[in-house]
A and B are shown apart, each in its own frame.
Chain A
């Protein structure tokens, strides 16, 4: 048993015995209750389950946005559980790219500038960031939208820009929270194809939280959660 719970050295993210209880000190059902999970590079993991099952909480903990009440999390082989609060943003910036349900693009910046911002936050020089942003937008199939503001893009295009932003700077892990929820079937599938391609061809670990059964075929691995536990993996 102890061997089963050992951290995986190859995993992009490794979660061991993670428990999360909100409103600590008050008795209540934990949102997560002893989760063990390894997310591998080159793999697209679908995290599924009913509302309240703990998917987003687990995603937030893997993304170093929330801290577990108990247990350990390693990101790219580094234990981040006890890391100083002030150092967490740097871990997120270097190792993790986020894709959100509502896209969360900066509405006053163009598609290109949204990606450039992410690159420059990671230390890229302006000239390099410009070229790289263009390349990434082309990679996700919206290269021609470089100078467009988000309000002029369709939902699918916005999410592709968000994916390009998430992948900017080559993070080890891409965490996507319901990336297809606000999209029609066609757009949703095209976004999933991009994520799948990124996982396979760029050897990134991609974790997608979803309710959407229509995208099951894109998962290399499906993890089902229920009541804060992994019910099936």
Chain B
């Protein structure tokens, strides 16, 4: 068949621009909001997701990783003595304050770890390495937060809760969900920075021996440590994500914004595709008068909508990429994976076809006798 749908769509460039504008606006809004949701969600559990530990031991009823109370480090030795445990380390995650030389303070989240272990280390290290954390007072921060923390380069000195801290390296892209950036340091330094007693920790990270059933080990640890909670790493990460994204309402509001984007998108696209159909209503009347089957008329309208969807999606993809790259340099953790992009392609097509259905309903009711009226 002659390409009526394509020609109709491209005939009026302004109308096409308006249609694409609507689609792009909606898709970018949804992609960015869902990207933010994914980014936020990932940020909440980054420390766990990258820990390479198999199990986390926390105080009883710890709601999420950032809110763990301290417990006595003898539990650490009980963990080490448990059959099936290959290695373990005391680990601290706790908010505290960072003070710049000019007196300006910022909230930070100290992560205290053992640099000699193969797990629980900072990741994406771009300057320095974990071993350098063994220097006195050494800390490592993410380069995203240099400005926020007043850091210009390695070797600079700051103060954390009255204790000296020297920047020895940087990570890249380790975002915190809250406004408090992560500061990696040794477990010993961390105890000072968060004012724990010498025998206190708030986590024990466990590495299981090869071939050990993790659920079985978890149960055994739980039996031996009745005053603590033991989690598989993924389990604890999920608990933390759920807390931040749904208990605080942060995730719901981002998801609602994405939903709103979808609704706005459908409304805008419906209006523009409907207007495009109305521009050609006499032609659809002519087709019906000529005896064209309804299926052909519907195909023209749906093809128009689908072409618009594919074009709009392609442009939206470019814009989203631009926004995402912009976000990577700022504090906005927009994380757009290929899975989201694939889903969004089908959402875009579905949105446009749904919008076309309104036009089809109008054309269905068209009286072919209209062609004889003026």
> Does A139 interact with chain B (Cβ within 8 Å)?
no
* Cβ of A163 to closest chain B Cβ, rounded Å: 14
Which chain A positions have C-beta within 8 A of B291? Answer: 88-94, 96, 121
> Does B4 interact with chain A (Cβ within 8 Å)?
yes
> Does B107 interact with chain A (Cβ within 8 Å)?
no
**Contact A59–B292 (Cβ < 8 Å):** no
**Contact A108–B4 (Cβ < 8 Å):** yes
Chain A's interface size range is: 20 to 34
Give Cα A156 to B217, complex, Å: 90
**Contact B293–A109 (Cβ < 8 Å):** no
Which chain B positions have C-beta within 8 A of A63? Answer: 289
- Tell which of A59, A101, A104, A117 touches B1, judged by Cβ atoms closer than 8 Å: A117
Q: Mask for B262-298, Cβ within 8 A of A = 1, else 0?
A: 0000000000000000000011001011111110100
Q: Mask for A93-116, Cβ within 8 A of B = 1, else 0?
A: 110101011101011110001101
**Contact B286–A108 (Cβ < 8 Å):** no
- Tell which of B2, B8, B369, B374 touches A117, judged by Cβ atoms closer than 8 Å: B2
Q: Mask for B1-31, Cβ within 8 A of A = 1, else 0?
A: 1101001101100000000000000000000
Chain B's interface size range is: 20 to 34
Please classify the interface of chain B as helix (H, G, I), strand (E, B), loop, or mixed, using the class held by over half of its residues: helix
> Does B368 interact with chain A (Cβ within 8 Å)?
yes
Known contacts A66-B369, A117-B2; A98/B8 CB under 8 A: no
* Cβ of A35 to closest chain B Cβ, rounded Å: 17
* Cβ of A26 to closest chain B Cβ, rounded Å: 19
* Cβ of A100 to closest chain B Cβ, rounded Å: 6
> Does B372 interact with chain A (Cβ within 8 Å)?
yes
Give Cα A92 to B10, complex, Å: 30
Give Cα A214 to B290, complex, Å: 28
Which chain A positions have C-beta within 8 A of B11? Answer: 107-108
* Cβ of B339 to closest chain A Cβ, rounded Å: 38
- Tell which of A65, A88, A89, A94 touches B292, judged by Cβ atoms closer than 8 Å: A89
Give Cα A102 to B369, complex, Å: 14
**Contact A109–B369 (Cβ < 8 Å):** no
Q: Mask for A117-134, Cβ within 8 A of B = 1, else 0?
A: 110110000100000000
**Contact B372–A60 (Cβ < 8 Å):** yes
> Does A36 interact with chain B (Cβ within 8 Å)?
no
**Contact A118–B283 (Cβ < 8 Å):** no
Give Cα A93 to B282, complex, Å: 18
**Contact A104–B2 (Cβ < 8 Å):** no
> Does A43 interact with chain B (Cβ within 8 Å)?
no
* Cβ of B236 to closest chain A Cβ, rounded Å: 60
Known contacts A89-B292, A93-B291; A65/B368 CB under 8 A: yes
Give Cα A89 to B290, complex, Å: 7
**Contact A106–B4 (Cβ < 8 Å):** yes
**Contact A109–B7 (Cβ < 8 Å):** yes
Q: A88-B291, A121-B293 are in contact. List 16 more A-B contacts (CB 8 A).
A: A65-B289, A65-B369, A66-B369, A89-B292, A89-B293, A98-B290, A100-B286, A101-B372, A104-B286, A104-B371, A107-B11, A108-B7, A109-B4, A109-B7, A117-B2, A121-B290
